[in-house]
Chains A and B, each alone.
Chain A
Amino acid sequence: MGTVTATPFVPAEIKQGSLRRERRWALIGAYLALAVFVIFFMVPPFHMLMTSLKSSAEIADLSGNPWIVSRPTLQNYWELLTQGNYLIHFRNSVIVTVCTVIISMIISVMAAFALARMKFWGSATLATGVFLTYLVPETLLFIPMFQIIGSLGMYNNMWAMVLIFPTLTVPFCTWIMIGYFASIPKELDEAALIDGASHLQMLWKIFIPVALPGILAAMIFAFTVSWAAFIYPIAFLVSSDQMLLTVGIVSDLIRADTFQWGKIMAGALMAALPPLLVYAFLMDYYIAGLTAGATKG
């Protein structure tokens, strides 16, 4: 049997100001990580911007530095805006996106209100079912969707996108809204009911104003999905006057093995502006909306 000698516990010396030092290192680490992240994600747009400002000859000249423009020109932007169908594609995208957002909001706000607040048989299952439809990938859906759109005689018609895109946006928007509506205290609708409001008045006068951050978050999502959609437009739209921006750029500016890189980059950059503006103005609402359901009942 060995002898165990108890050693008295001596706490490590607590250094004054260690908390402040730890915080400083944490901040330095955070900024470094963010800097790497920002550089990584800003490289492609920067390269796009540089390329869009180059002439075709400068792009083709492989001896130059691809990150620097030696003779900047707005030729690509000018030609895009004055020749070809870029503006038509832009207009089509705006129309389809605005319609998609409106339709998605009308359906998902009402569906979410019903599923979150009007207790009825199977409402919980239905809410889960709505979300599950969101999990079905587009690549699986577009063949049956092709048949449906074909049978409606809407092939090669941009308005078909107004019918299709809500199938992508409504489930997730509804899910966001259910979470947001669920975070609104039940007493608020009870107070409105006693005050004399109908369900529709309650939705319009109480829920929509109170849930505005959630609704804006859902709107941004619907906008982004519709604006950036690629698979459906490329499968369903063939003539240039019906095309949306995402497809129009690659269809009109890539001919066989000829890539008009300058215009492609200019077109893509201009196409990225509307989502950028939407995010810039509504980002706070977007974050509040996405996190509300997660932190409250």
Chain B
Amino acid sequence: MAQVTLRKVVKAYEGGVQAVKGIDLDIADHEFVVLVGPSGCGKSTTLRMIAGLEEISDGEISIGGKVINDVPPRDRDIAMVFQNYALYPHMTVFDNMAFGLMLRKFPKEEIKRRVDNAARILDIEPLLARKPKALSGGQRQRVAMGRAIVRDPKVFLFDEPLSNLDAKLRVQMRTEIKKVHQTVRTTTVYVTHDQVEAMTLADRVVVMNHGIIEQVGPPQELYHHPRTRFVAGFIGSPAMNFIPGRLENGAGALRVHLPNDIVLNVPAERTSRYAGQAGREILFGIRPEHLTEAKNLDRPNVAQLVATPEVTEPMGMETLVHFKLLGAEICGRVDPSAPASPGQPLPMAVDLNHMHLLEPQSGRVL
């Protein structure tokens, strides 16, 4: 069993700067957890503390029920894949993958069996005799993963492994990583700043910001039910739109008053949820895909507004339209066939079934 548990883990540097501010996290056996957040949020530091490459200032980390705060990296039974591959340049692919096993004095036959097996999983069998400099970026990353797999560790740690690859290869390798996890089922902690990677790979996503965990949950839960403005804005691409407004009680229904005299009726099933907030300033949040060209307006809880796009971005399967609403930059997703062009008014539909209301000061989703 290889659960990873973090209890009140703190990382403080000289001068009192805290990179990680007392986080708690439980990672189940076989689980694939992704730590995601912007630069400086503490995600890599957290991973490095699990790896033993950074000392823990306070708190407790355990792997498989055993506290490993003072255990050196080599005795933690972990394997790590680095952003820049960190392959030993003077060794062949085989030796790179076998290095950890040789240091642990595994029999030669066992080393060969494990390396061959990992090479087969990763489809790098023809590369075993090559040196890293003779490999492409994607192949190097596979070798780095192979080096982790052969060890058969309790936990895999990935530190932004795809950041050095081009966009196409990144998508390809993402699938590879998912396949490998489905094959070997090792508990995995994966760090990335790319929320698409986080969403596509993770069983659960941990969103970090300023050294704390903002929210933990399955990707869909984070996407549809963010708890904070940060999570709502960070997860999803393009990001959720936020428009300042006011929640008013009128004519027996709750209404959201937005700039330009736009009034939106809160769906009846949400009335009780927001009842206590009537009369207060709020942030109205809506994802671009719920702000589309005006069609099916007869559906319940769909309102209309007219936008004048400043920029349109044809993406092939959809077109992004960017417009301003009293200073706020708004993005909508429309069908490529919609008559969206800069400067031309475009009737748009707001699907209020998917709206979010947030407290402006705390950023808490109501």
Task: Report A's interface with B, CB cutoff 8 A.
Answer: 185, 187-188, 190-197, 201, 205-206, 209-210
Contacts and interface: CB of A to CB of B under 8 A. Distances in A.
Nearest to A186: B86
Given A190-B53, A210-B90, A185 B74 contact: no
18 contacts: A185-B84, A185-B86, A187-B86, A188-B86, A190-B51, A190-B80, A190-B86, A191-B86, A194-B51, A194-B78, A194-B79, A195-B103, A196-B100, A197-B74, A205-B99, A210-B88, A210-B89, A210-B90
A191 B83 CA distance: 11
Contacts of B52: 193-194
Interface in B75-110: 78-80, 82-84, 86-90, 99-100, 103-104
B73 interface: yes
Contacts of B74: 193-197
Contacts of B90: 209-210
A201 B72 CA distance: 15
A201 B79 contact: no
Given A195-B74, A206-B88, A209-B90, A190 B82 contact: yes
B87 to A, nearest CB: 8
A188 B104 contact: no
Interface in B55-84: 72-74, 78-80, 82-84
Nearest to B75: A196
A149 B58 CA distance: 53
Given A193-B72, A195-B74, A210-B88, 8 more contacts: A187-B83, A190-B86, A191-B88, A194-B53, A194-B79, A196-B74, A201-B103, A209-B90
Contact of A193 (B73, B104, B147): B73
A209 B132 CA distance: 14
Q: Is the interface of A mostly helix, strand, loop or mixed?
A: helix
Contacts of B86: 185, 187-188, 190-191
A195 B53 contact: no
Contacts of A209: 90
B63 to A, nearest CB: 13
Contacts of A210: 88-90
Nearest to A209: B90
Contacts of A187: 82-84, 86
Contacts of A205: 99
B100 A195 contact: yes
A190, A196, A206: most-surrounded residue (chain B CB, <10 A): A196
Contacts of B103: 195-197, 201
A188, A195, A209, A210: most-surrounded residue (chain B CB, <10 A): A195
A192 B90 CA distance: 13
Contacts of B72: 193
A181 to B, nearest CB: 14
Contacts of B79: 194
A209 B103 CA distance: 17
Interface string B104-138: 10000000000000000000000000000000000
B135 to A, nearest CB: 16
B73 to A, nearest CB: 5
A193 B100 CA distance: 9
A228 B72 CA distance: 47
A196 B73 CA distance: 7
A292 B183 CA distance: 42
A190 B80 CA distance: 9
Interface string B136-147: 000000000001
Contacts of B80: 190-191, 194
Nearest to A208: B90
A206 B86 CA distance: 11
Contacts of A196: 74, 100, 103-104
A190 B49 CA distance: 12
A205 B99 CA distance: 10
A296 B51 CA distance: 27
Contacts of A193: 52-53, 72-74
A285 to B, nearest CB: 14
Contacts of B83: 187
A201 B88 CA distance: 13
A51 to B, nearest CB: 47
A188 B51 contact: no
B16 to A, nearest CB: 19
B75 to A, nearest CB: 8
Contacts of A194: 51-53, 73-74, 78-80, 100
A198 to B, nearest CB: 8
Nearest to A189: B86
A177 to B, nearest CB: 17
B82 A195 contact: no
A236 to B, nearest CB: 41
Nearest to A195: B100
A208 to B, nearest CB: 10
A109 to B, nearest CB: 16
A56 B72 CA distance: 73
Given A197-B74, A201-B103, A209-B90, A191 B53 contact: no
B187 to A, nearest CB: 16
Nearest to A201: B103
B84 A195 contact: no
A209 B90 CA distance: 7
Which 7 residue pairs are nearest across A and B when measured between Cβ atoms? A195-B100, A187-B86, A196-B74, A191-B86, A196-B103, A209-B90, A187-B82
